[in-house]
Amino acid sequence: MFVLDKERLVWWPVKVEVPVDGGETKTQEFEVCFKLVPVDDPRSMLKTDRLKEQIVAWRGVSMATADGGARELAFSAEHLATMLAIPYAHRGLVTAFVECQTGAKRKNSERPPAGGPAAAIQPPATMQ
The predicted-structure confidence for 10-53, as pLDDT tens digits, reads as follows 999 999 999 999 999 999 999 999 998 777 766 666 677 788 98
Contact by Cβ (8 Å): 114, 72: no
Could you report the per-residue pLDDT of 92-107, keeping only the tens digit for each?
999 999 899 888 775 5
**pTM for the full model?**
0.74
The backbone torsions φ and ψ at residue 53, rounded to the nearest 5 degrees and listed phi first, read: -80, -30
Closest by CA position to 106, among listed 85, 116, 91, 125: 91
Domain ranges in the chain are 8-104
How far is it, in rounded angstroms, from Cα 36 to Cα 50? 11
How far is it, in rounded angstroms, from Cα 81 to Cα 79? 5
Give residues with Cβ within 8 angstroms of 17, minimum separation 6: 25, 26, 27, 88, 91, 92
